[in-house]
Amino acid sequence: MATKFSKAGERVSINEDDFDGVNQVLAGKSRWQDFISPNVAPALKKYPGHTFNIVSAQVFGQTGGLDSETMAFTDKVNAKIVFVEIFKGEAQTMVFAALHEMVHWVSHPTDQGKRITAWGALGDGLGEGLTQVITEDIFDGQGIAQYYKPVYADRASIVRKLIERFDISPFGEALFKGRPQALQPLLDTYGSGLQKIKGLASANNSKEAIGVIDDLNRAFDAKPKKGAPPKSR
């Protein structure tokens, strides 16, 4: 029987019930469910043992690079996920970290062996921000209380600003179906400014990025649309 969760900050450890519980949450109710569900079963076929790989900070630092926001990393090329333990000597992590990494795991390509398809279009800033938005949306969709200190908060706020404009479909198509071309509306709207937004996201500069998005949205909306009658003076 899979573990049930009421809070994103609950601990999970190296046991199959916790692993199954997190993946039931992953595939469960959220506005992203239609994108995620088809990917879960094929992606999990490549997950060894159906338990979490939780290691000491020393080991994690040697393999994944420990910083203030990184509690785990997913390597889709070599098909592995590694978490840093939250308490010394105890093989435990938290549900929000486990779910974030499982969103990475089921991103296209589901059969592993290659980097996430959408990463070339999104970059680290928007890619991690999108993954965190999806993680938080899944918790919200299932009434699971959020962790008091969410990771990638700046990056997530930038992605939420973009979703306000474009809704979730382009992002779901790119991340889970391997169709980065679905992000073309962003390029049509922001042009070369999209690179600046991506750079600011990677730098965790949400204030400036959201300002750039607002300015470019206004500029795009003010342009005469093809086939529209000219504005009278």
Give the pLDDT confidence of 192-225 residue by residue, as tens digits.
Answer: 999 999 999 999 999 999 999 999 999 999 988 7
Structural domain contains residue 84: yes
Q: Is the pLDDT of residue 66 over 70?
A: no
Averaged pLDDT, 94-99? 95
Q: How many domains are contained in the chain?
A: 1
Q: Is the pLDDT of residue 100 over 70?
A: yes
Averaged pLDDT, 183-198? 98
Looking at residue 87, what is its pLDDT? Answer: 85
Structural domain contains residue 33: yes
Please report which confidence band the pLDDT of residue 124 belongs to, taking 50, 70 and 90 as the band edges: very high
Domain that holds residue 185: 11-222
Averaged pLDDT, 57-80? 80
How many Cα atoms occupy the beta-carbon half-sphere of 104 within 13 Å? Answer: 25
Contact (Cβ atoms closer than 8 angstroms) between residue 27 and residue 36: yes
Averaged pLDDT, 181-193? 97
Structural domain contains residue 228: no
Structural domain contains residue 5: no
**Secondary element (H or E) of residue 76:** none
Structural domain contains residue 6: no
Please report which confidence band the pLDDT of residue 71 belongs to, taking 50, 70 and 90 as the band edges: confident
Looking at residue 95, what is its pLDDT? Answer: 96
Structural domain contains residue 230: no
Please report which confidence band the pLDDT of residue 64 belongs to, taking 50, 70 and 90 as the band edges: low
Structural domain contains residue 209: yes
Q: Tell me the backbone φ, ψ of residue 45, rounded to 5 degrees.
A: -60, -25
Structural domain contains residue 233: no
Give the pLDDT confidence of 12-27 residue by residue, as tens digits.
Answer: 999 999 999 999 999 9
Please report which confidence band the pLDDT of residue 57 belongs to, taking 50, 70 and 90 as the band edges: confident
Looking at residue 67, what is its pLDDT? Answer: 62
Looking at residue 68, what is its pLDDT? Answer: 61
Q: Is the peptide bond before 48 cis (omega within 30 degrees of 0)?
A: no
Residues near 150 by beta carbon (within 8 Å), at least 6 away in sequence: 96, 132, 136, 156
Average pLDDT for the chain = 92
Residues near 22 by beta carbon (within 8 Å), at least 6 away in sequence: 3, 5, 12, 95, 98, 99, 102
